[in-house]
């Protein structure tokens, strides 16, 4: 009788080729990443909704509301796309929290505890898989944007830098959501809590309208909103800023630096917090 190894099983290293801690950690992280990608492939409806939502937003704002929203010194479709990119990678990061809560609820973490693997590999695999999902969503968004007239104008290197910046922020934020998913242990709570926070962050920003058109207090919030910095950075790298100068605040004057610094801070703070919390939960 033949047996089929599951993606979570690991091979024994050869006796003449010892494997160091870093190599085993990378192997464990890749194994869990692959497991999550296989799970995604077997649940095409999850991928379908992740792809359809940004397409819906692109078409809704560009074709339905585009004629009613004026942008000083620029085209609204070009202005819009960076906002859609920022919103999508932010919302896509919630999958990390949702799936962590789902795995805890289903008892899958108890199975991981019986395997000879690094504890942090579970979190690394989860966030890596969501990075892949966000990358797929971004490719679909860009193709949709090209259909409705969006173009980047700063050259290929700047364009790739903009994509990398969006994905860096999404990866860092996925660790925030992973920690939240470990703490609440309920997928329903994750969805409610995430949307209550992310909707104001997204819409009280420069993602869809110019911050200068918002009422005074909301304009101040928008100009210091990290989502606004992310969107402004993407617009600058894609060449979609138009002719209107950005607001005289540090995040708007230095958006790329703000996003890189903020992402590094999020990783430095929330990676160890998430790993520590996960070890505490999985040891019970």
Number of domains in the chain: 1
What is the Cα–Cα distance from 130 to 124, expressed in whole angstroms? 10
In a domain, 5, yes or no: no
Environment class of residue 2 by beta-carbon count within 10 Å: exposed (0-12), middle (13-18) or buried (19+)?
exposed
Residue 175 lies in a domain: yes
> Does the residue 14 lie in any domain?
no
Instruction: Tell me if 236 sits within 8 A of 255, measured CB to CB.
Output: yes
pLDDT, tens digit (0-9, with 9 covering 90-100), for 81-140: 999 999 888 888 887 888 888 777 776 666 666 666 677 788 888 888 888 888 888 888
Higher pLDDT, 141 or 188: 141
- Give the structural domain span for 87: 22-282
In a domain, 160, yes or no: yes
Looking at the domain assignment, is residue 69 inside a domain? yes
The whole-angstrom separation of Cα 274 and Cα 181 is 9
Is 16 part of a structural domain of the chain? no
pLDDT in tens, 27-49: 777 777 777 777 767 777 767 77
Q: What global pTM score does this model have?
A: 0.84
Q: What is the mean pLDDT of the chain?
A: 81
Q: Is residue 7 part of a domain?
A: no
- The 8-class DSSP code of residue 180 comes to H
Flag whether 1 is in a domain: no
């Amino acid at each position: 009788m033949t047996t089929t190894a599951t993606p979570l099983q690991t091979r024994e290293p050869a006796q003449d080729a010892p494997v160091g801690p870093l190599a085993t950690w990378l192997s464990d992280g890749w194994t869990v990443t692959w497991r999550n990608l296989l799970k995604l492939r077997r649940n095409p409806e999850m991928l379908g909704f992740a792809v359809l939502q940004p397409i819906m937003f692109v078409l809704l704002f560009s074709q339905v509301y585009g004629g009613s929203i004026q942008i000083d010194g620029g085209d609204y479709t070009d202005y819009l796309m960076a906002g859609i990119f920022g919103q999508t990678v932010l919302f896509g990061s919630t999958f990390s929290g949702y799936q962590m809560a789902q795995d805890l609820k289903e008892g899958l973490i108890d199975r991981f505890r019986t395997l000879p693997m690094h504890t942090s590999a579970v979190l690394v695999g989860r966030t890596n898989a969501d990075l892949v999902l966000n990358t797929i969503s971004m490719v679909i968004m860009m193709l949709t944007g090209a259909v409705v007239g969006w173009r980047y104008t700063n050259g290929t290197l700047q364009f790739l830098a903009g994509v990398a910046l969006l994905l860096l922020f999404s990866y860092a934020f996925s660790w925030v959501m992973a920690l939240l998913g470990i703490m609440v242990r309920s997928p329903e709570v994750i969805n409610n809590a995430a949307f209550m926070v992310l909707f104001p962050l997204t819409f009280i920003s420069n993602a869809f309208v110019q911050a200068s058109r918002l009422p005074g207090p909301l304009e101040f919030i928008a100009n210091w909103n990290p989502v606004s910095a992310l969107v402004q950075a993407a617009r600058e790298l894609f060449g979609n800023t138009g002719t209107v100068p950005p607001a005289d605040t540090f995040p708007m004057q230095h958006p790329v630096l703000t996003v890189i610094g903020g992402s590094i801070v999020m990783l430095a703070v929330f990676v160890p917090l998430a790993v520590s919390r996960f070890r505490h939960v999985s040891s019970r």
